């Protein structure tokens, strides 16, 4: 209905990176469901190698040992419990699945794994799956080292080892069956979709064969015949022969150009300016909106060296970050994913963070710490919880309320002041100039008083605003005045924030 503040079109995914299953279950019930988040992307739930050097890096979870469901985030039972509780709270679970490879060839042998399963990397033996040497691509790879040496060679990129990771042979029926069985075990538990890791390194035809074996969603929570939502990680910033478009017929694809370009515009690099965003979308070389999974930053490129390079905005630069996230959530392009991070001891040296490998807040034994929620709703410890910042939370609601409405009433000053609406459901004004924005703008909204959801929101009683108040006249116009010095130099109103 008109004021569908949380249910009309839940549209945002939040990546609760490295969170434990028990904390995710709590978050679904206490926060994500009530605030209209669509889904949680969880870290890889499969058993992975325990890396000692560097000590327990975040990327150890991208080196599988088996498809047993025990990891740093918890046990299989805790995973099942979390999925059930989140589904009941109206929050879907999308699992990050690592199916291109197993662990590094140099990971040794023994039981240094999160479930204690035996493996022998040099002999390519993973008895808990089972995989053995014939299930890897050694005979297909043509490089001397067996590793990917040249990203311009599409055969190497698919059939050789990515940084030494044992490359699975998806052309073989046994491997396809094992991978599909792993994904089906998650679907049968109630998972609603997948973030498929490193898709650039797998052949579309093999992925198609695997996806074709996937079950429908569990009917305990989803309508009969529902299919998993799939979004594929393909790091394509141009310059490589492998394109995101090769995968878009199989499911959504991550659009890494989005965060890179948005970061450059908001940082005002290379004379990029906010007014240029009037045409943001396919004309910028991005993929069609209905294929795109978009984000400002992700778990890898927020550490500086990942895809998108140095223009990527992160929680380390909160003022620009909130502006970028607000723009992304207000703009109709793509399916939006929010990053929820932890802080680490960043140590920049010649532009590279020496500690970019650091894992989540943890105890001396390596186990991950819980996420404490403070009385004011922020997170304690080193958990950043960007998704709990009120500006971001309120823009998730904005996106839900504006779901399906077209971009409308664009205005800009030719520099770094812009405004645009979503039909008659929402309107946002952003000042990224060094001077005050002072303008009377056509909002397309019904006349009345609205609360700005960035500087505050409607009071619980719905009688007043805790932040700025915007009056829209009978002609749909409203006056906006935003100083360049404000902590958050942008204003947003929507039909759910009307008094
Ligand atoms: O220096 C590193 N890696 C080399 C540069 C990044 O290359 C990687 C890419 C990668 C990077 C850029 C591309 O264009 C591309 O096609 C692939 O994807 C991965 C996916 C995995 O599941 C596991 C990995 O170890 C990687 C990886 O190392 C450190 C040490 C090993 C892990 N790692 C890392 O930096 C780990 C990075 C990582 C891990 C998981 C991811 O999903 C991801 O996107 C990156
Ligand atoms: Ca591969």
Give per-residue pLDDT as tens, 154-193: 999 999 999 999 999 999 999 999 999 999 999 999 999 9
Of the candidates 109, 111, 113, the one whose C-alpha atom is nearest the C-alpha of residue 124 is 109
How many DSSP H helices and E strands does the chain contain? Answer: 8, 22
Residue 415: is it exposed, middle or buried by C-beta count within 10 angstroms (0-12/13-18/19+)?
middle
Ligand 1: which residue has its CA nearest to atom 39? 59
Distance between Cα 79 and ligand 1 center (Å): 25
> Quick one: what percent of the chain has pLDDT higher than 90?
95
> Rounded to whole angstroms, how far apart are CA atoms 446 and 171?
57
Distance between Cα 181 and ligand 1 center (Å): 25
The reply to whether the predicted model has a pTM over 0.80 is yes
pLDDT classification of 4: cutoffs 50, 70, 90: low
Q: Nearest bound ligand to CA 170? A: 2
pLDDT digit string, tens, across residues 109-146: 999 999 999 999 999 999 999 999 999 999 999 999 99
Residue to probe by mutation, ligand 1, list 44, 56, 62, most atoms within 8 Å of CB = 62
- Return mean pLDDT, the chain: 96
Residues having CB within 6 Å of any atom of ligand 1? 59, 62, 98, 162-163, 197-198, 200, 233, 235, 300, 307
Distance between Cα 185 and ligand 1 center (Å): 26
Of the candidates 186, 214, 196, the one whose C-alpha atom is nearest the C-alpha of residue 84 is 186
Residue to probe by mutation, ligand 1, list 201, 253, 300, most atoms within 8 Å of CB = 300
Of the candidates 172, 243, 246, the one whose C-alpha atom is nearest the C-alpha of residue 209 is 172
pLDDT digit string, tens, across residues 35-49: 999 999 999 999 999
pLDDT digit string, tens, across residues 348-374: 998 889 999 999 999 999 999 999 999
100: pLDDT strictly greater than 60 = yes
Helix, strand, coil distribution of the chain in percent, nearest 5:
30, 25, 50
* Residues, beta carbon < 5 Å, ion ligand 2: 100, 167, 201
Q: What are phi and psi of 175, to 5 degrees?
A: -70, -45
> Rounded to whole angstroms, how far apart are CA atoms 406 and 289?
12
Residue to probe by mutation, ligand 1, list 46, 163, 255, most atoms within 8 Å of CB = 163
Per-residue burial over 129-150, b if 16 or more Cβ lie within 10 Å, else e, is bebeeebbbbeebeeeebbbee
Question: Would you give the distance in Å from CA 471 to the centre of its chain?
Answer: 35
CB 91, CB 85: distance < 8 Å: no
Find all residues with CB under 8 Å of 442, minimum gap 6, and list them. Answer: 409, 411, 475, 476, 477
Of the candidates 99, 98, 96, the one whose C-alpha atom is nearest the C-alpha of residue 15 is 96
E-state strands within 70-115: 92-97, 101-104, 109-110
Distance between Cα 380 and ligand 2 center (Å): 39
Q: Nearest bound ligand to CA 98? A: 1
């Amino acid at each position: 209905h008109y004021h569908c503040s949380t249910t009309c079109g839940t549209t945002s995914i939040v990546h609760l990176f490295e969170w434990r299953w028990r904390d995710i279950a709590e978050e679904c019930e206490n926060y994500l469901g009530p605030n209209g988040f669509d889904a949680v992307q969880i870290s890889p739930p499969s058993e992975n190698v325990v890396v000692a050097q560097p000590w327990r890096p975040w990327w150890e979870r991208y080196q599988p040992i088996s498809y047993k469901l025990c990891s740093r985030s918890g046990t299989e039972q805790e995973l099942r419990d979390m999925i059930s509780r989140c589904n009941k709270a109206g929050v879907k679970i999308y699992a990050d699945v690592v199916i291109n490879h197993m662990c590094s060839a140099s990971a040794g042998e023994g039981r240094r794994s999160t479930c204690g399963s035996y493996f022998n990397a040099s002999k390519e033996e993973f008895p808990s799956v089972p995989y053995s040497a014939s299930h890897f691509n050694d005979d297909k790879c043509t490089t001397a080292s067996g590793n990917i040496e040249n990203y311009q060679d599409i055969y190497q990129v698919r059939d050789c080892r990515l940084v030494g990771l044992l490359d699975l042979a998806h052309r073989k029926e046994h491997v396809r069956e094992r991978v599909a069985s792993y994904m089906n075990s998650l679907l049968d538990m109630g998972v609603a979709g997948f973030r498929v890791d490193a898709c650039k390194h797998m052949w579309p035809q093999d992925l198609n064969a695997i996806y074709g074996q996937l079950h429908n969603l569990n009917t305990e929570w989803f309508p009969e015949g529902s299919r998993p939502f799939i979004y594929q990680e393909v790091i394509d910033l141009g310059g490589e022969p492998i394109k995101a478009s090769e995968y878009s017929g199989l499911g959504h694809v991550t659009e890494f150009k989005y965060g890179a370009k948005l970061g450059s515009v908001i940082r005002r690099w290379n004379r990029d300016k906010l007014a240029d965003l009037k045409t943001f979308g396919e004309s910028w070389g991005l993929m069609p909106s209905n294929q795109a999974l978009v984000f400002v930053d992700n778990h890898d490129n927020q550490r500086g060296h990942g895809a998108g390079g140095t223009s990527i905005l992160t929680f380390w630069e909160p003022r620009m970050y909130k502006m970028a996230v607000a723009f992304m959530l207000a703009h109709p392009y793509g399916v939006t994913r929010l990053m929820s991070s932890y802080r680490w001891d960043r140590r920049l040296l010649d532009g590279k963070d020496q500690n970019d490998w650091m894992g989540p807040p943890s105890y001396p034994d390596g186990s991950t710490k819980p996420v404490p929620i403070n009385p004011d709703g922020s997170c304690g410890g080193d958990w950043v919880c960007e998704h709990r910042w009120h500006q971001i939370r309120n823009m998730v609601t904005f996106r839900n309320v504006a779901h399906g409405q077209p971009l409308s009433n664009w205005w800009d000053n030719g520099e770094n002041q812009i405004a645009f609406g979503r039909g008659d459901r929402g309107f946002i004004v952003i000042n990224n100039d060094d001077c005050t924005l002072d303008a009377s703008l056509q909002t397309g909204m019904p006349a009345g008083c609205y609360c700005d959801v960035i500087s505050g929101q409607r009071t619980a009683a719905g009688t007043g605003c805790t932040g700025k108040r915007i009056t829209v006249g009978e002609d749909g116009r409203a006056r906006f005045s935003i100083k360049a010095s404000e902590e958050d130099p942008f204003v947003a109103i929507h039909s759910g924030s009307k008094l």
